[in-house]
Chains A and B, each alone.
Chain A
Amino acid sequence: MGTDTGQGFLRFEGVSKAFDGVKAVDGVTLSVRKGEIFSLLGPSGCGKTTLLRICAGLETPDAGRVLLDGRDITELPPHERPVNTVFQNYALFPHLSLWENIAFGLRVKGLPRQRIRDEVDAMLGLIQMTDQAHKKPAQISGGQKQRVAIARALVNRPQVLLLDEPLAALDLKLRQKMLVELDDIHDEVGLTFLYVTHDQGEAMGLSDRIAVMNNGVVEQVGTPGEIYETPGNSFTAAFIGDTNFFEGVVKGAAGDGYSVVGVDGFPCEVVCFNDRPRKAGDQVHLSIRPERFVVSLQPAEAGPLHNQVEGIVEEMIYLGAQTRYRILAGAHRLSVLRQHSRFLLDEKPPSWKDRVWVRWHADDGYMLERFRDSDRGLLPLSEQA
């Protein structure tokens, strides 16, 4: 069996599933490589959990196949699949102690007692909860439950560990701590993780690759960097981080790989990098991340690949590490994030009602392959002036 023939260790091929006529998963094809942390990221109802449950065997797809290590597991019942799941609410068995919870899968398999004892004890050591083994799930905290749920799945040595929003029930600090622990566990056991989350921070921080899902389809697959820097479409651009959308028409080329774009609502034309050839007259949509803008109270000397527009600060929100501005420039309200690199007592930062200049480099704008107007709704600042 080809372990990784470029086809992927875990493969979904044209998988679809509908509930009461509503398509939850719609023709998804995905390849997960052996040993990677692969995230399914999307808003609630995008079909990511359904896809995970199809992988676990808890849902049967209406169409398509699921392959694991080259073997078709689509029709396999859940108890025969070499995968285990960490459920969103942990689903620990309340009538069993933590020790018995972790031993559950091994006992079902009918392993010898001594072997079960050794493996469960080792797993309790890994999650550092040996002294709590006798407790019932109701007696431990959320973070501890989460660790037990992971141990209960890992002890069965699955080929793929499925994690369904495992951190959703934890508070922020604990979530960050558990994220590091999850990463450590992954390094230690070297399994393939299929990780479902709606939290882009978790997905970005943990994943080797991410599939961004929306309305049952995969919008984009890539590394966290690829997805953030080169979003393929307006959904990915707006869902991952914040962005500003601009509609425009290509006016002509501006040297190698750059186009001059006339943006509706801007007084001047802008220069933008294009990763594929554009010709004059092409309709394009630009996405520019708020932190790529540079705001200043004075206009700067603009180079050939620099864009600059004049605007008025309408709103500013101090966020500690940054300040978020809302700047009216031409017919657009720009979302701008200004990093506080040092504490400037002597330099007055742009403030409310100030006349400012917003600059960005041609490489900071990204032309979207697909644009849907509905994705504007995902922006923190969706209306145009």
Chain B
Amino acid sequence: MTTGSKAGRRVEWMLTLPSLLWLVVLFVIPTVLVLAISFRPPTPSGGVGDGWTLQTVLALRNPSYPVIVWRTLRLSAETALICLFFGLPVAYLMARSSDRAKRVLLLLVIVPFWTSFLIRIFAWKVLLHPEGVMKQAFAWAGLVAPDASLMYNEGAVLLVLVYTYLPFAILPLYAAAERFDFGLVDAAMDLGCHKFRALLNVFIPGISRGLATALVVVFVPALGSYVIPDIVGGPGGEMLGNKIAQRVFVDRNLPHASALSSLLTVAVVVPMLAGLALRRHRVRPGGVK
């Protein structure tokens, strides 16, 4: 019995090993390296010098950084919330559709991925451009002033972020909604809820895992955005990713870029670990409010 379970455990290890190796070699080691480089001095040629220093980490106190860190966190959070807001009804609709309609809707959600990400972002640039279709149409309809700019601001970054990440939010929400027992909504209505209240009280808690997944899947990649703010953001829409790129490509200061990058990692990982720990101990209150 014990030998059998030992053998079983060995098989488990062997099955897990490739993915574990992958994670360690391509994720853990690089992260540690990046963190380590943050404490190295830069060399004038753009390399990493010998010895240890706190110089670059202290340079993070530059007053321009808190603004950008805050903007990065805020834009990412807004993106995640807006994606949830629009993704939820779509996921609900998809889950309630006939099998045929489901396939078509799912295809529509995935279709944008068949066009290169860069091309899609540049397409937005065309739309938002002062001479672009969207800008012209809005100006004609009187929604914006003729000389206003739809581009090179935070709003443009948020718009394109939401556009980019919406499918990533819809897919986990749909997966959760698909497994949800809609008989529970009937039961809630039977017990006196309006349809909307029934959805709020029963459907939303029922797909909470999907909601959490969608939030993380949008929020975390959005934090690392670089291309989107670079193309449609302008100076007013810069995110931390742009600063990191500047340190690498313009200043050729790898330790500084590493320090910024580590800052972002710490800013995300620490609250997430805390949240996980909290969730493990929390007794969920739930219930009808």
Contacts and interface: CB of A to CB of B under 8 A. Distances in A.
Interface in B203-223: 205-206, 208
A156 B191 contact: yes
Interface stretch (A5-13, A100-108, A347-355): A100-108
A109 B183 contact: no
Contacts of A153: 190-191
Contact of A156 (B186, B187, B192, B284): B192
Nearest to A78: B189
Interface residues of A, number: 28
Contacts of A104: 188, 191, 288
A127 to B, nearest CB: 17
Nearest to A96: B286
B186 A58 contact: yes
Contacts of B202: 93
A56 interface: yes
A103 B186 CA distance: 17
A176 B28 CA distance: 60
B190 A95 contact: no
Given A93-B202, A94-B206, A109 B192 contact: yes
A83 B186 CA distance: 13
Contacts of B206: 94-95
Contacts of B188: 93, 104, 108
B197 interface: yes
Interface string A209-236: 0000000000000000000000000000
Counting chain B CB atoms within 10 Å of each CB, which of A58, A95, A105 scores highest? A95
A100 B189 CA distance: 16
B184 interface: yes
A89 interface: yes
A108 B184 contact: no
* Residues of B in contact with A, size category: 20 to 34
Interface string B151-190: 0000000000000000000000000000001011011111
A89 B183 contact: yes
A117 B184 CA distance: 23
Nearest to A97: B286
Interface in A34-91: 56-58, 77-79, 83-85, 87, 89, 91
A152 interface: yes
A77 B240 CA distance: 52
B193 interface: yes
Nearest to B289: A107
A85 B187 contact: yes
24 contacts: A56-B186, A58-B189, A78-B189, A79-B190, A79-B191, A79-B192, A84-B190, A85-B186, A87-B190, A89-B183, A91-B183, A91-B184, A91-B186, A93-B187, A93-B205, A95-B286, A104-B188, A104-B191, A104-B288, A107-B287, A108-B191, A108-B197, A153-B190, A153-B191
Interface of B: 181, 183-184, 186-194, 197, 202, 205-206, 208, 284, 286-288
10 shortest interchain CB distances as A-B pairs: A105-B191, A91-B187, A107-B288, A108-B192, A95-B205, A78-B189, A91-B183, A79-B192, A85-B190, A100-B287
